[in-house]
Chain A
Amino acid sequence: MSTRTLGEPVKRNEDRRLLTGQALFIDDVELPGMLHAALLRSQVAHGRILKIDVSRALQRPGVIAAYVAGDLGDYWQHGPVLVPPPPIPGIVFNARTQVPLAKDKVRHVGEPLAIVIAESRYIAEDALDDIDVEIEQLPAVVDLEQGLRAESALVHDDVGSNISAHVRQTKGHYAAAAAKADHILKRRFRYEHGISSPIETRGVVAQWDGRAGQMTIWDTTQAPVFVRNGLAGVLGLNERQVRVIAPFVGGGFGPKIMMFYPEEVLLPWISMQLNRPVKWIEDRLEHFFATTHERGQIHDAEIALTSDGRILGIRDVFLHDGGAYDPYGLTVPINSQCTLLGPYVVPNYDSTFTQVFTNLPIVTPYRGAGRQHGVFVMERLLDFAAHELNIDPAEIRRRNLIPPDAFPYKNEIIYQDFAPLEYDSGNYEPVLDMALEAIGYETFKDEQAAARLAGRHLGLGIACYVEGTGIGPYEGAKVQVQSNGKVSVATGIGTQGQGHFTVFAQIAADQLGVAVSDVNVVTGDTDQFYWGAGTFASRGAVVAGNAVNEASKVVRKKALKLASDLFECSEDDLVIENGKVSITGIPEKFVSLGDLARQANPMRGAVQPGTEPGLESTQYFGPKMGATANGVHAMIIEMDPQTYELKILRYVVVHDCGTVINPMILAGQIHGGVAQGIGNAFYEKLVFDDQGQLLNASLADYLLPTALEVPRMELSHTVTKSPLNPLGIKGAGEAGAIPAGPLFAQAIEDALDLKARGVELTEIPLSPSRLFELTRDLR
C-alpha cells in the first residue's frame, strides 16, 4: 500500500487547535508581570513637531513609563532599506525610511509620536489623553500629480522633490514599432488597491530576561528570521540571544512582512529598559494607519497594434503612490511594470514610473503586490483595442498569447528578484479555452439578448494574467525522524493560514513513507530554524517546500543506507512505507523508521567520521529565478440599470501553478484571493481628504466582502510544471486577487452597453455611485 500524498487533498494537521480555540495567537501570549503599550499617533498628515510632553501621563496611576524620540538616545535610528533598488540603468532612488518615534516632523496620519507603558491597555489609552502635543500643521501631499509640481510641499525636505524613485525599463524599441502600427490607442488609467485588513491585526510581545541575557519576541511577522537578525543588531545582542516567534497569525497577505515597524523596534528596547515583558496589540483603528497599505497608480498608457489586433508595442508612463517612506524599495511598481506584459507577446515595451512620496502611510506589497495595476492596464488596452478594431475580446487575447514552444520566454526587463524577467514555462491557450468553455462564452451573447428582452442586464468579463512566483533568495528546512517514528520538519518561514503544517508534511511524508499526520511541522520560530527569508511573493510552497523535499530526500537516503547495512542487502531492494523500511516482497523483514533513528544515535559504539548522528538533514533551496504561474478568470454579472447595483452570477477561475501539492488547500487560496479581488474591484476604497485624513477608518466604512458579496467560484486547473525546481511547483497565493479589476470593468461595460454609449471604465475601484457619476451624461 502506497502512502503517496503529494497531490492529494489531505486534510489539515493544524485544524484541531484552531477549531477548538486552542491555537496561540499573539494576544494570547500572557506572561507574568507583562505590561501593555499604547501609542500616541499623529492626527495630522504633515507637520512640524513643536512639543510632546509626557509628564502628565507619567503621573497617572498605573502608568509605568512613557517615551518620546529623544528618550531612545542612540537607539533611535531610521529603519533599513529592506529591498534595495534593482540593478536598472539610470535608476533614481531616494531612500527615506521610517523611524520608531517621530522627531521634528510627522509625515502621515498615524505616525507614532510617543509610547506609553501601563498596567493595562485601558490605562495606557487613558494616558494618551494626558500627553501634551503641539504640531504645526503643514500642507499635505496627497495627490500624485500635484506632489510632483514645483510648488508642492515636500514630504522630505532634503530630497528637494517628492520623487522617491524614477525607473525606466525598455525592451526593443517602442517608437519604431509605433511608427509602423496600423492602430494606436492611448488611455489614462487609475488603479487603487486597498489594504490587507486581515481579521487579526498586528502585535508584538517582547520579553527580555536580563539574567539569562535572552530576548524573546512574539511577533505577527511573515519574516521572523530577518526580524531576529535586524533587531539583534540594533539591540546590540548576538543573534543567538534573540528568539523571534511568529505564532499562529490571523492572516498576513503581505503587510505583515514589512519589517522594523516602529512597534517591532520599540517593544524589545522597552522590555530591556524596564526588565519586564511588554505587549502591544494593534487595534483596528490603528491598523488603518500603522500597518502598510497598497494604494494607487496613475497610468498613461499607449498600445500599438496591427489591424488584426497583434501587439507591436506598449509605452506606459505611470505614477506610483509610495507613501511617506520607501523601505520596501520598488517591489510594488516593478511588479506592476513587469506584470503588465502578461501572457502576451509584447515585442517592444517602454515603461517608466515615478514613485512619489506622499503624506500617507507606507506602501508595501499586499497580495498581488502591484501586479493588479499592471494587469488592469494591459487587459483594458486589449478590451478597447478589441472594440475599436471590431475583434472579439477573447480572440484578441488569443492572438497575442505567447505560444507554448517559446519557453523559457525572455521579457528582458528586470523583475523584483533582480533578474531579467523570464517566464520559465507556460501553456496559455488551453487555459483560455477552458475558461471560455466553463463560462459558456459561445452561447452567452444569446443568453444576454434573451435576458435583455426580460429586462435583465447581464454582462461577461474575461481577463488573463501571468504571475511571477517562487522567487529566491532561498529557504531551508530541517527534517528529522525521531525515535518514536514521527517526523519533525522545521523551516524558517512563517505561516498565516496557508496550510504549511500540512503541505510541508505531505512533501516529507511522500519521501519518507509516513502518514501526513505523523509529520509535525514547525514554522516561524528562529530557535527551531535559523535561516530563511519569509512568506511572501507566493514563494512558501515553492521555495520552502522544495527545501523540505531536498532534506526529506537526504533523510530517506540515510534511512535506506542504514537499513541496507542492517539487512545486508542493496538499497534497491528496499521499500519505505507506513513508517517502516522493509525488503521488497518480504514485508515481515522490516525495521521501523523510529528504530533506525535510534540506531543512528547510538549510546555506545562509534559513529563513522564524516557522518552525522541521527536521521536528519538540513537542506536549502534557492531557485535561480521565479517560476511563472498563469490563469484566466471569467465572470458573469447582472446589473440593475437604474441603481447600478451588481450581482455576480458566475465566477470561473482556470489556473496553472504547476504541480499541485494539495488541491484542497490550493482551492482555498484561490477562493480567498478572488474574494479580496472582488473587494478591491467594487467594495474597498480608502477615502482620503486633501489633507491626508482617512475618512473611512473603520470596518463599518471600509467594506470587506461578506458571504453575500462573494459568489460560489468554479475552479479548474492545468499543470505546466516549472523546470526550476524538482517538484515542478509554482506559487499560487496571490493569483486569485490579481485580475478582478479588468474583469469587473469589462463585465459592467458589457452589461450596460457602455462602450457603445461612449463610456469607458478606466478606474478601479468602482461602485454603484461612481458608475452613476460616470454615466450621468448619457441620460
Chain B
Amino acid sequence: MDTDDHDISLQVNGTTYRRRVESRLLLSDFLRHELGLAGTHVGCEHGVCGACTILFDGEPVRACLMFAVQANQHRISTIEGLAAKDGQYHPLQQAMHDYHGLQCGYCTPGILMTMSAFLDENPSPNEDEVREALSGNLCRCTGYQNIVDAVLAAAKTMRG
C-alpha cells in the first residue's frame, strides 16, 4: 500500500524547510516530530484545548486542525521563534514569568502564540477583552488570573 506523499516547502520561524510528507500527517505532528520543534504541544486533537496554537501567516490557528500539506508555501511561527535569537524574552514571556502565569507549562506555548498575536492587534485591551481572547485556550493549572495579569502587564510594556 503506497502512502499519499507530497513535497512541501514552508517557512517556520523564518527558516525554509522542504520535506516529503504523507497527506494525513497533522501539522502539529509535522512540527513536533518531523522538524523537532516540540514546543508546540498536543492536548486534544479536536480543536478545543488550544495547546497546539501556532501562527499561520501571522494568525493564530490550531495546528491539530490542519494537515502539513496545507501549510505548503505558507509561513508559520511557533513558540521556538517567540524569544529573540539571543534569548531575550518577548514581553509576554517576561510577564508570564513575573506574574507566575504558568505552572506545568503545557498550555503555555499555545497561550503565548495566541496572546502575542492578540496584543499585536489590540495594544490596549481591558480585562474582559483579554479573557475573551484567552477563552480558546484551556489551562487546568492556573485558574487564568495570573495569565490575565501577565497579558495586561505585557500590553503596557509593549505600548512603551
Contacts and interface: CB of A to CB of B under 8 A. Distances in A.
Interface of A: 11-12, 14-23, 25, 27-28, 30, 61, 122, 196-201, 248-251, 253, 283-284, 496-499, 664-665, 667-668, 670-676, 698-700, 704, 706-708, 710, 712-713, 736
By secondary structure, the A interface counts as loop
B97 A284 contact: no
A251 to B, nearest CB: 5
A306 B93 CA distance: 57
11 contacts: A17-B105, A122-B22, A200-B51, A250-B41, A667-B100, A672-B103, A672-B140, A700-B46, A706-B137, A706-B138, A712-B145
Given A18-B108, A21-B40, A707-B147, 12 more contacts: A18-B105, A19-B97, A23-B105, A122-B22, A199-B49, A199-B51, A250-B105, A496-B104, A698-B46, A699-B48, A706-B135, A707-B137
Contacts of A196: 140
A538 B136 CA distance: 30
Contacts of B148: 707, 712
Which of B41, B87, B148 has the most C-beta atoms of chain A within 10 angstroms of its own C-beta? B41
A15 B143 contact: no
B32 A27 contact: yes
A11 B140 contact: no
Interface string B99-138: 0101111111100100000000000000100111011111
Interface residues of B, number: 60
B142 interface: yes
Interface in B45-63: 45-46, 48-49, 51
B100 A708 contact: no
B100 A30 contact: no
Contact of A668 (B46, B100, B105, B136): B100
Given A19-B112, A20-B82, A497 B105 contact: yes
B158 interface: no
A156 to B, nearest CB: 33
B106 A20 contact: no
A671 B142 contact: yes
B36 interface: yes
A199 B107 contact: yes
Interface string B26-49: 000000110011111111111011
Contact of B141 (A20, A21, A672): A672
B107 A700 contact: no
B5 interface: no
Contacts of A251: 103-104, 106, 140-141
A21 B39 contact: yes
Contacts of A675: 139-140, 142-144
B48 A700 contact: yes
Given A11-B97, A200-B106, A251-B104, A713 B41 contact: no
A676 B103 CA distance: 15
B93 A713 contact: no
A197 B145 CA distance: 19
Nearest to A122: B24
B104 A30 contact: no
Given A30-B36, A668-B100, A248 B142 contact: no
A707 B144 contact: yes
A21 B37 contact: yes
Contacts of A17: 105
A217 to B, nearest CB: 19
Contacts of A496: 104
Contacts of B103: 251, 497-499, 668, 672
A706 B22 CA distance: 35
Given A675-B144, A707-B144, A20 B33 contact: no
Contacts of A198: 104, 106, 140-141
B141 A497 contact: yes
Nearest to B107: A199
B97 A699 contact: no
Contact of A19 (B24, B40, B49, B96): B96
B69 interface: no
Given A11-B97, A498-B103, A30 B140 contact: no
Contact of A699 (B1, B40, B44, B135): B44
Which of B33, B142, B144, B147 has the most C-beta atoms of chain A within 10 angstroms of its own C-beta? B144
A668 B45 contact: no
B89 interface: yes
B98 interface: yes
